[in-house]
Every structure is written in C-alpha cells, then in structure tokens.
Amino acid sequence: MAAVILASAVKELDLTLDDLATNLEFIRTASRLRPRLKDMLTWQTMDGEEKALATAFLRQGVGEESLFYRGDGCYLVRSI
C-alpha cells in the first residue's frame, strides 16, 4: 500500500518538475522577446482587444528568472 502511494507521489513530483521546466523556458523566452515585440507588431491592423493584450504584456517588464533559483537548486525542489 505504501509503495503504491509513494509511486504516485513520485510520478506527481516528476510531472510537476516537467511543468516547472516548461514554465521557466516560457519566462526565459518572454523576457527576451518582450523588449523586441513592440517593433515587431503591426499596431495599425490590430483590433482593440489585441492591442490591449499586447500592451499589457509589454508593460509587465522583464521577467526575473533568478527569482526561481536559490543557490544550486530551485525553490520548488528545495521546498519539497
């Protein structure tokens, strides 16, 4: 019984870590793209909702990847 519960917990941890890697990659990409995006968009062809979404994204500033790390590991791994 305990082995089954442990196996499920390990599987869930693996999936969570996979999600974390995906999310960190998105943050890295977004932080590199955001400063360039304004010049890449054709604002004249956008409708109001598209402009509002793009503007909100651009106003967020640069993401801080280092907030996810502490020393030699990430917060999630250390907290588990």
Segment 43-56, tens digit of pLDDT: 899 999 999 988 88
Contact 69, 10 (CB under 8 A): no
Query: Structural domain boundaries of the chain?
Result: 2-79
**CA of 32: how far to CAs of 1, 29, 35, in Å?**
47, 5, 7
Contact 25/69 with Cβ under 8 angstroms? Answer: no
Is residue 4 very low, low, confident or very high in pLDDT (cuts 50, 70, 90)? confident
Q: What is the pLDDT of residues 60-79, one digit of tens each?
A: 765 555 555 555 555 544 44
Tokens describing residue 76? 């999630």
**Structural tokens at position 44:** 């004249």
pLDDT band, very low/low/confident/very high, at 80 (cuts 50, 70, 90): very low
Q: Give pTM, 2 decimals.
A: 0.51
Q: What is the pLDDT of residues 13-44, one digit of tens each?
A: 888 887 787 878 888 888 888 888 888 889 89
Nearest in space to 28 (alpha carbons), one of 67, 56, 73, 78 = 67
- Tell me if 75 sits within 8 A of 23, measured CB to CB: no
